[in-house]
Amino acid sequence: MEVLKLEGVTVKFGGLVAVNNVDLTMNKGEILALIGPNGAGKTTLFNLLTGIYTPTSGRITFKQKEINAFKPYKRVEMGIARTFQNIRLIKSLTVLENVLVAHPECHSEGLFQSIFLTRAVKEKRKRIVEECMDVLRTVGLHAKVNELANNLPYGEQRLLEIARAMVTKCQLLLLDEPAAGMNSQEKQSLVDLIRLLSKKYEMEILLIEHDIRMVMSIADRVVVLDHGEKIAEGVGAEVQNNPKVIKAYLGEEIDENE
């Protein structure tokens, strides 16, 4: 079952074509990797999916509904959330507070409710905290809820970003270079976490990643972009051995008859 579909999606900035006529689909429960050299259009594609950019042409469909004109907050409400290539935590807040601000029910409390704190309001607050704690337990940060985000090691800041996206109750999670700056042990833990999230929450995960070994170990399918165009799509080995992919990364032609 298709959850996400891009049909002939193009985005232009003046005379620059950043994404050119890209078709892409994601199926229910799938982990899909988006790879390509620097400047290939990967993050631009993420920005299209999250509503930061609007397609110049083409169509983006999520859960059978066209979302081309939807604002970012509306896409979050529908179930699309992301992390960023450059970490964007509120570093002066604690781990728990960073997750709480993303919870969809944390901003629905009125002035009257905040002043008089009825039993129902207290129970609601307790439930929201419990839901946030459940996500923090999943990513392994439950013991650091009162730690300032700025004091976390780099790898744990990455995990906190994932937790913040997860607490929106998303169905489609977009991870923009989640392993950047991590050592090999942290990367393996991240691979295990991504698999757990996919299984536990029955969600779709689309990730941009430069570590090809990691990509091939986790992705159900791989899509390759180069200069804004999709040049390959498939499972690990066939993508790795595709002459167009090798040329995009190495800048040289490969003789397919060798």
49-98 pLDDT, tens digit each: 999 999 999 999 999 999 999 999 999 999 999 999 889 999 999 999 99
Same domain, 145 and 177: no
Put the strands of the sheet holding 229-234 in their side by side order: 80-82, 172-176, 204-208, 31-35, 221-226, 229-234
Q: Do 174 and 256 belong together in one domain?
A: yes
- Domain range for 223 is 1-79+170-258
CATH number of the structural domain spanning residue 47: 3.40.50.300
Mean pLDDT across 5-32: 95
Shared domain check, 192 and 70? yes
- How many domains in the chain? 2
pTM of the predicted protein model: 0.89
152 lies in the same domain as 221: no
Of 145, 167, 189, at which residue does a domain stop? Answer: 167
| Residue bearing tokens 């509120």 | 90
Is residue 257 included in any domain, yes or no?
A: yes
Which tens digits make up the pLDDT trace of 106-165? 776 666 666 667 788 788 889 999 999 999 999 999 999 999 999 999 999 999 999 999
Say which amino acid occupies 85: Q
Same domain assignment for residues 68 and 146: no
244 located within any domain: yes
Tokens (6 digits) for 219: 């992705």
Q: Report the pLDDT averaged over residues 181-195.
A: 92
Kindly state whether residues 70 and 197 are assigned to the same domain. yes
Interatomic CA distance for residues 217 and 11, integer angstroms: 31
Question: DSSP assignment of 173-226, as one string?
Answer: EEEESTTTT--HHHHHHHHHHHHHHHHHTT-EEEEE-S-HHHHHHH-SEEEEEE
Say if residue 65 is in the same domain as residue 12.
yes
If asked whether residues 74 and 197 sit together in one domain, one would say yes
252 pLDDT higher than 60: no
Tell me, yes or no, whether 163 and 143 share the same domain: yes
Residue where one domain finishes, among candidates 135, 167, 199: 167
Instruction: From 167, 199, 227, give the residue that closes a domain.
Output: 167
